[in-house]
A and B are shown apart, each in its own frame.
Chain A
Amino acid sequence: MSHISIDKLYKTYPGATPVKALEDIQLQVAPGELVALLGPSGCGKSTLLNLIAGFEQPTQGQLLVNGAGVSAPGPDRGVVFQEAALFPWLTVWENVIFGPKVQGLARSEYEDRAHEMLKIVGLSDFKNHLPVQLSGGMRQRVGIARILTLGSRVLLMDEPFGALDAQTRLTMQELLLNVWQQLKPTIIFVTHDIDEAIFLASTVYVMSARPGRIQTKITVPLNRPRTVADTASETFAALKLEILNLIRH
């Protein structure tokens, strides 16, 4: 059974000239799968993510997570935002435990887990820092630690590394792969960076714009665990060229 199941999904923004953001989307994501939604800006990839997150409602079609329809955002689907979206008035620690705290869990139920997740993302020494005191990459680490602490089984990531410099981005991609290997959550990763999509995902869905649709499904033939060396392999280069040709047309 798929973890996320999307069938004939449409999203149209009403107005004088209605905008067809998504048209006839079909998508099946297996539990523990890491998929990438790849496409130019305006192709509706973020809209699709927002629908799965429950931030917006589809105009038409079926959207199931764990077999149940999505009507609102919830802790089962953790979102990592483009600009981290941490609460600037809370420390790293307070940001990470925000979820369990508002859900009314007892401290003992989440503290160990929060410590562990901060350790996984390498921020154990920054618990008392405010977000403004961190670099962009560190803020995204907090964003990841916070949904891991939340215990989300689905991670929805909206171009989370897009604003980072190349080196930091690579470190973050490796970190994400590492987290995924350890905890095996289902991940939908939105990006416009072809290299990033190939390096991270098992399956890449290439999307096209106006109206936003899924153009092609590509299975990435790289073994796990992956390393930076994979990005210099022939298989990688060949796949990149294939996708580039797809996007050009």
Chain B
Amino acid sequence: MANASLATLRRTLLGMLVPAVVLVIWQLAGSRPDMAGILPTPIKVIDGWRDWIFASPGMGLNPYLGTWVSNVQYSSMRVAQGFFLAALIGVPLGLLIGWSRLVQQIFDPLIQSLRPIPITAWLPFSIALFGIRDMGAIFLIFLGGFYAIVVNTTQGARDVERNLVRAALMMGASRRHLLYRVVLPSAMPSIFTGLRIGLGISWTAVIVSEMVAVKSGLGYVLWDAYYVGRMDIVLADMVSIGIMGYLSDRLIVFIERKVLVWRMLQSH
């Protein structure tokens, strides 16, 4: 018992060693006069961040006072909408592509030929199509999440154990039953892999599109703060994006653990 907690303590300390050194170097480097305007010290970042979160917006002339929550909300809502749409279309389509030769022949060539185009390359087209509005950002987020979800779901549906399908047919399952009761649950682990990867890409997409296509959200603040030389906000913004990405990933893992109890037991 004592050994175990000692080992935990040791591991925690070892893990904190390098970050602590980096923080110290950062603080020292940020204090140098020639770094002014480029690298704010960690303390300055925390100060700026605190004001960005908690300070009263006053007359609303300074965009970095008390606007953090609403910007986080803007970005999160866009991710949620685009990602939800991606899952809503990507999961059923992936299942069908993996399951039906016909559906595969219809959709696979299109998806495979569009997939190599990076989502960032879609930006101008997306703005032309949707204008500087939410839809442009949501479209990119959708696209980013969609590929990962559809490709992983397809793989999962394809990898269904042959004997499970045979067992179901032997027991009198129809093709519809096979899809809902065998292929879908079998593919569930791959679907969750796709959702997690897709969500990560969705966060990339929201930042990129907010930098260009809309005038709010963490991505917009990131670029805007850089232009006005508020590097403390830039850094606070970067960390905020990281935290949001991490939290949303944890949310999916939480749901995965609830849904895939059988899988969790299997791997232990």
Which residues of A are at the interface with B, using a C-beta cutoff of 8 A?
Answer: 53, 55, 72-75, 77-79, 81, 83, 85-89, 98-99, 102-103, 130-133, 146-147, 150
**What chain A residues lie within 8 Å of B174 (beta carbons)?**
102
Q: Is the pair A146, B265 in contact by a Cβ cutoff of 8 Å?
A: no
B258 to chain A, nearest CB (A): 13
Cross-chain contact B170 with A53 (CB below 8 angstroms): yes
Q: How far is the CB of B266 from chain A (nearest CB, A)?
A: 5
B266 touches A88 (CB 8 A): yes
| Chain B interface main SS type | helix
Instruction: Determine which of A55, A77, A87, A130 lies in contact with B164 in the assembled complex, contact meaning CB atoms within 8 Å.
Output: A87
Across the interface, B170 reaches (CB within 8 A) one of A79, A131, A132, namely A79
Determine which of B173, B188, B265 lies in contact with A132 in the assembled complex, contact meaning CB atoms within 8 Å.
B265
Contacts A88-B262, A89-B262, A132-B262 given: A99-B171 contact, CB under 8 Å?
yes
Query: Which A residues are CB-close (under 8 A) to B263?
Result: 88-89
Chain B's nearest CB lies how many Å from the CB of A91? 9
1/0 per residue, CB under 8 A from A, across B224-268: the answer is: 000000000000000000000000000000000000111101100
Q: Which residues of A contact B161 (CB under 8 A)?
A: 85
Contact check, A85 vs B261: say whether CB atoms are below 8 A apart.
no
Total contacting residues, chain B, CB less than 8 A: 23
Among residues of A, the one whose C-beta sits closest to the C-beta of B171 is: A99
- 25 A-B pairs (CB sep. < 8 Å): A53-B166, A73-B170, A74-B170, A74-B172, A78-B170, A79-B166, A79-B170, A83-B163, A87-B167, A88-B263, A88-B266, A89-B260, A89-B263, A98-B171, A98-B181, A99-B172, A102-B172, A102-B174, A102-B177, A103-B172, A130-B261, A131-B262, A132-B266, A147-B170, A150-B171
Find chain A residues with CB under 8 A from B188 CB. Answer: 89
**Which residue on B lies nearest to A99, using beta carbons?**
B171
CB distance from A132 to the nearest CB of B (A): 5
